[in-house]
Amino acid sequence: MKKFGIIGLGLILLGLGINQTASSQDTAQILRNMEDVMRGNSSYAEMTMTIVRPRFEREISLRSWAYGNDFSLILITAPARDEGTVFLMRENDIWNYDPRIDRTTRLPSSMMSQSWMGSDFTNDDLIRDSDILDDYEHRLVRTEEIDGREAYVIELIPKPDTPIVWGKVKMWVSKGDYLQLRVENYDQRNELANTMVLDQIMEMGGRTIPTRFTVEPVGRSNEKTVLVYRNLEFDIDIDQSFFTRANMQRVRQ
């Protein structure tokens, strides 16, 4: 998720849906507003991820730092077998440090669509995050109520030659406060692959945001991944110099 500013929209509503003449610029502004709410210029977070499978549950604790659109670092703090694992994004390069073999490796772009740490999130979801404005064509489909909030429903189609695994994405963004509430990812055959629900909306880091993200794959019962924010700070004192391969070792201390 990226960061942008806020201005008024003046969208034209028609009946139960949205006038199809509404411009892509209006839709882009909704997404900019959402990104501004959900992400600051820089941030620090402490999170717990629970991977639920029919025969087991696995919990991962992590800390993350982010700066702008192109810099992020994730440190695994638990369980013990994964403690000290670090992921770094620096512009177009993605790196992984594995403390078990004391080795740092560069992740190829082909791995961005693969599962992150065995979860239902992909490497792109947690490490890189595709740019929803630059990497997709988008249009306003309709408005509808979701969990008691009136929301815009936006359809996003990946632009040609972008390294995105999905054939289509639908996103629900609440009117007024621009909170991301739901995401549906569709495969290249236009079949629903998974859903992500964002809820437990509360104040954290001086902002009111969803603090729980639940991803459920379609067609696989009793499977899901739940990511919960435990602590979140926005606009921290950090810059690009923090996001280096050398610092992948330092943050473990």
- Write out pLDDT tens, residues 43-84: 999 999 999 999 999 999 999 999 987 899 999 999 999 999
Q: Residue 129 pLDDT more than 70?
A: no
Q: 4 vs 201, which has greater pLDDT?
A: 201
Q: CA Rg, the chain, in Å? A: 18
69 touches 50 (CB < 8 A): no
- Decide the pairing of beta strands 13-14 and 17-18: antiparallel
Q: What pLDDT sits at residue 130?
A: 66
Q: What pLDDT sits at residue 5?
A: 33
Best CA proximity match to 77, nearest among 65, 99, 62, 58: 62
Q: Residue 152 pLDDT more than 90?
A: yes
134 touches 156 (CB < 8 A): no
Q: What pLDDT sits at residue 201?
A: 96
Q: 231 vs 110, which has greater pLDDT?
A: 231
The pTM (predicted TM-score) of the whole model is: 0.84
Structural domains of the chain sorted by starting position, each given as residue range(s) with its CATH number in brackets: 13-250 (2.50.20.10)
Distance from C-alpha of 194 to C-alpha of 120, rounded to nearest angstrom: 9
Q: What pLDDT sits at residue 24?
A: 52
Q: Residue 173 pLDDT more than 90?
A: yes
How is residue 37 written in tokens?
């709410």
Q: What pLDDT sits at residue 16?
A: 29
**Residue 9: pLDDT band with limits 50, 70, 90:** very low
